[in-house]
Structure 1
Amino acid sequence: MAAHNFKHALFCAVITLIIAYPIMGLDLGGGTLVPADTSVVISVVIGAIVVFLFQLFRDNILGTLGSLPRVNPLAGREPMPQAKRLKLETWVLTGFIVLALFWPFVASRGAVDLATLVLIYVMLALGLNVVVGLAGLLDLGYVAFYAVGAYTFAMLSQYYGVSFWVALPLGAILAALFGLVLGFPVLRLRGDYLAIVTLGFGEIIRILLNNMTNLTGGPNGIGGIPEPTLFGMEFGWRVKEEGNTSFHETFGIAYASEHKIIFLYLIALVLAVITALVIRRLMRMPVGRAWEALREDEIAARSLGLSRTAVKLSAFTIGAFFAGFAGTVFASKQGFISPESFVFLESAIILAIVVLGGMGSQIGVILAAIAVTVLPELAREFSEYRMLIFGAAMVLMMVWRPQGLLPMRRTHIELKAQE
C-alpha cells in the first residue's frame, strides 16, 4: 500500500511539473523565449512538493479532516425538532430582511451597490437551487436565462421605450419560456449528459447574442439602459422621459446620486424576498415534494405515478423565471450589458453558491451568496489568486462538509401508534 501511494504521489507531482512547465519557460520577451523568474520556478517546485506530500499521506490527511467535526461540541447533538427549526428559520429570515431594510441608510454608497449585487446573486442562487438542489438536475447553462432577462429589458427599452416595470415581468416570462424549451430535449437525460446539454445551451445563447449584431449590438453590447422610476419620478439630475418628474424636485430635497442606488437596492431586496417566499411555499406544496422525489429516485417517483415530464419542466421553468427577474435588475443596475457579462464562469459561480450553501437549503444559499460575493471585495489584495482560493475552498468543503454550510433538513412525519 505504501509503495502504491508513493508511485501515485510521484506521478501526480510529475504531472504538476508538466502542466506548470509553460509558466516556467514561455515568457516572451523581445520575440525570444526568456526563462521565468526564480521566484516563479521556486513556487512551481514547492507546489509539486506539496502535491507529492498530500498524495503520499492522503489517507492520513483525509482521516484527520474527517475527524475535525468531532471536536465541535455541537456535532453530536440531537436534531432540532421540526416545528422549532421552522420557527427559527422564519425568525432568521425576518432578521435578514429587517437588517437589509436599514442597511442602505447606514452604509456607504459602495456598500449599498455591493449589497444590490449580493441580492441579484441571491435570486439567481435560489432559482438554481430549485433545479439542482430540489429536483437534482445539474444545470451548467443557467446563466443563459439570466442573459435572456437582461437582454429582454435592454432591447425593449432601446427599440420600444419600454419601462423597467413593464419589462420586469416580460423578462421573467420570456426566460421561463426558454427554460420550458430547454426542458423538452433533456427529459431523458441525467447526470453528466444533462450537464453537457445545458452547458451547450448556455454557450449557444451567448454566441447568438454575440453574433446578432443588428439586434443585440454584438460584442459592443447595449448601453443607455434606463433606471427604474417611482410612479413616474426619475432619480437623475435631469428628467429624460417626457411627462416624468424628478424625485428630488417632487419632494423638495437636494439632489443626491445615492437616491437611485438606494431605490434599486430596495427593488432588488423586494424581488429577492418574493423569490424566497414563493420558492419556500412551493417546497411545501405537492410540486416541491415531486421535485425531491425525482431527485432521490426517478424510477421510484415514476412508479408512484409522478409525471417525469411535468416535474422536470416545472423545475426548469420556475428556476428560469427567477433568473429572468435577476437579469432585468442587473441590466438596470449596470446600464450596459454585453455577452461577456454572461460567460460560463457566472454559471459556475452560481452553482458553487448552491453547493456551498447546501443544496435545497434557502438560508444556506443566502449565506453562501453573501460570502462568495462579499469576501473577494474585502480581500482585493488577493484578487489575482481569487479563483485559486475559491477552488481550494470548494475542495475543502467537499472533503470536510460535503452537505454544505447549512444542509437542508428533511421533513419528518410522525404517525401515532394506533391502539
Structure 2
Amino acid sequence: MNYWIGVATLTGIYMIAILGVSILTGFTGLFSMGHAGFMAIGAYTSAIITRAFGAPIIVGILAGMLSAMLIGILIGYPTLRLKGDYFVIATLGIGEVVKLAVENLPAITGGARGLSDVPRGTNIVLVWAIVVVSILLIKNFLRSKHGRNCVAIREQELAATSVGVNALHYKLLAMAISCALCGISGALLGHYMHYLHPNMFNMLKSNELIMTVILGGRGSLTGTIIASLVLVPLPEILRVDGGVQEWRMVFYGLLVVVVIVFRPSGLMGKKELTFKDIRTFYNQFLNRKKRTYFERSQGLLQQVQKKGGEK
C-alpha cells in the first residue's frame, strides 16, 4: 500500500511540472527542452534553505518557486525574442547549463555526489492539494484575457500582434508561470526523495515533460491531466514480477508511438472534458442500458407469445 501511495505522490509532483510546461508549450506554442533545469533550481534552492538555515518546508517551497520564476524571467527576456528552432536550442542549452552548474558547485549543491539529508516534508495530501489548486488557477487563467492572448499567440502571433497583443509580454508571463510550477515540483521532489542528484534533472526528464504534454494534446488542460495520470505511473504499473518487468520500458515506448501514429493531435487534441460532458455521457450510458433491457424484455415476451400460440 505504501508503495502505491508513493507512486501517487510522485505522479502528483511531476504533474505540477507538466502543467507548467503545458502553459508554455501547449497554450503559448513555445517548445522548451530544458524545463528540468528549472525543477533543479527549485529543488536545490528549497533544499539548501531548509537544510542550512532550518527554514520551514513551506518557506523552502516558496523560495524554490520564486527562484525558478525569477531566473526564468531573466533567461526568457532575451531568449523569447528568438523564433522557432532557435528558442528550442536555447532552452536545451539552459537545461544543460543548470545541470553542469549543479555538478560543479560541490560546496553548495554537493556536486556529482548529490545532496543528502534533505529535510522530509512532502506527503500525498500536500502534493495533491497543490495539484488541485494549480489546476483551478490555470483554468481561471486560461479563461481570462491573458490566457486567451497566450492562445492567440500560439495560433497566429503576427495576427495577435496586429490587434495590439504584446507578444513578448505574454510570452514572459507564460514563462514565469511555467517556471514557477516547475520550481514547486522540484522542491516537492527534493523533500520527498530526501536526496538530490544532478541526473534527476537531465535532458531525458525535460523530454518526458514535453512528451506528456504533446501526447495529452496541445491546448487541452484535460488532456494534459489524463496523460500525466497515465504516462507518469505507467513504468511503475508495468513493474511486475517475471519476464514482463524487463520489457516494461519497451511497452511504455510502444504506447507512446501508438498514440502519436493514431492520434497525432494528442489524446484530447484541443478539447476539454467538462462535468456537463461527463453527465451527458453517463445519461447516454443509462439510456442505452435501459434500451437494451427493454429490447431483451420485448424479445422474451415475443418468444413466450409465440410458444403459447403454437400450443
Q: Normalised by the shorter chain, which TM-score bucket?
A: 0.7 to 0.9
Cα shift at 1:227: 2.0
**Counterpart of 1:328?**
187
2:171 corresponding residue in structure 1: 312
2:235/2:252 contact within 8 Å kept: no
Q: Which runs of 5+ in 1 are unaligned?
A: 1-107, 229-262, 411-419
Structure 2 counterpart of 1:179: 72
Residue 254 of structure 2 corresponds to: 392
2:144 aligned with 1:292, yes or no? Answer: no
Partner amino acid, structure 2, of 1:376: P
Q: State the one-letter code of the partner of 2:3.
A: G
Shift of 1:403: 1.4
In the TM superposition, residue 396 of structure 1 has moved relative to its aligned partner by 2.4
User: What TM-score do the two structures reach when normalised by structure 2?
Assistant: 0.83
Q: Are the equivalent residues in 2 in contact too, given 1:291–1:311 (CA < 8 A)?
A: yes
Contact 1:163 1:226 in 2 (8 A): no
Residue 193 (str. 1) matches residue 86 (str. 2): yes
Match of 1:402 in 2: 264
**Alpha-carbon distance, 1:377 to partner:** 1.3
5+ unaligned residues in a row in structure 2: which ranges? 273-311
Change (3 A) 1:330 1:217: same
Kindly provide the amino acid, as one letter, of the partner of residue 270 in structure 2: M
* Residues 376 and 383, structure 1, Cα contact 8 Å, conserved in 2: no
Counterpart amino acid of residue 336 in structure 1:
Y
**Structure 1 segment 17-416 matched on structure 2, within 5 A:** 108-228=1-121, 264-380=123-239, 381-409=243-271
SS in 2 for 1:185: helix
- Displacement of 1:163: 1.6
Residue 71 of structure 2 aligns with an amino acid whose one-letter code is F
Give, in angstroms, the shift of residue 334 of structure 1: 0.3
Counterpart residue identity of residue 43, structure 2:
A
Question: Taking CA–CA contacts closer than 8 Å with sequence separation of 6 or more, which of the two structures ends up with the larger relative contact order?
Answer: 2
* Separation of aligned partners in 2, 1:198 and 1:189: 11
Once residues 208 and 193 of structure 2 are traced to their aligned partners in structure 1, the CA distance between those partners, rounded to angstroms, is 19
Structure 1 residues 335-368: Cα deviation after superposition (integer angstroms, max 9, x where no partner):
0001111011111111111011111222211111
Query: What CA distance in whole angstroms lies between the structure 2 residues aligned with 1:212 and 1:326?
Result: 22
Contact 2:235–2:249 (CA under 8 A) maintained in structure 1: no
Quote the residue 2:275 is aligned against: none
C-alpha separation in 1, matches of 2:65 and 2:160? 29
SS at match of 1:184: helix
The answer to which structure has the higher helix fraction is 2
Letter in 2 for 1:216: T
Q: Is the Cα–Cα contact under 8 Å of residues 137 and 190 in structure 1 kept in the other structure? A: no
Q: What letter is aligned with 2:231?
A: V
1:399 Cα deviation after fit: 2.1
* 8 Å Cα contact 2:81/2:168 also seen in 1: no
Could you tell me how far 1:168 is from its partner in structure 2? 1.4
Native 8 Å contact 2:20 2:179 kept in 1: yes
Q: Distance in 2 between matches of 1:342 and 1:383?
A: 24
- Which whole-Å CA distance do the structure 2 matches of 1:405 and 1:375 have between them? 16
Amino acid at match of 2:177: I
Report if the CA contact (8 A) 1:187-1:308 is conserved: no
RMSD of the TM alignment (CA)? 1.5
Residue type of the partner of 2:263? R
For 2:237 and 2:212, locate their aligned partners in 1 and report how far apart those are by CA, in whole Å.
18
Following superposition, the deviation at residue 408 of structure 1 comes to 2.1
Q: What is the Cα deviation at residue 181 of structure 1?
A: 1.4
CA distance in 2, matches of 1:383, 1:207: 33
Query: Following TM superposition, by how much is the alpha carbon of 1:286 offset from its aligned partner in structure 2, in angstroms?
Result: 0.9
How far apart are residue 394 of structure 1 and its match? Answer: 2.9
User: 3-state DSSP class of the match of 2:79?
Assistant: coil
2: CA distance between counterparts of 1:116 and 1:161? 24
Give 1:23's aligned residue: none
Output one character per residue of 1:235-261: Cα deviation in whole Å (capped at 9) or x when no partner.
Answer: xxxxxxxxxxxxxxxxxxxxxxxxxxx
Letter of the aligned partner of 2:179 in structure 1?
A
Distance apart, 1:400 and its partner CA: 0.9
Q: Percent identity?
A: 34
TM-score, normalised by the number of residues in structure 1: 0.62
Alpha-carbon distance in structure 1 between the residues aligned to 2:183 and 2:171: 18
What amino acid is the match of 1:116?
T
Q: By how many angstroms is 1:293 displaced?
A: 0.7
- 1:347 and 1:162 map into 2 onto residues whose CA distance is 29
Q: Distance in 1 between matches of 2:6 and 2:176?
A: 29
- Would you say the 8 A contact 2:28–2:154 is kept in 1? yes
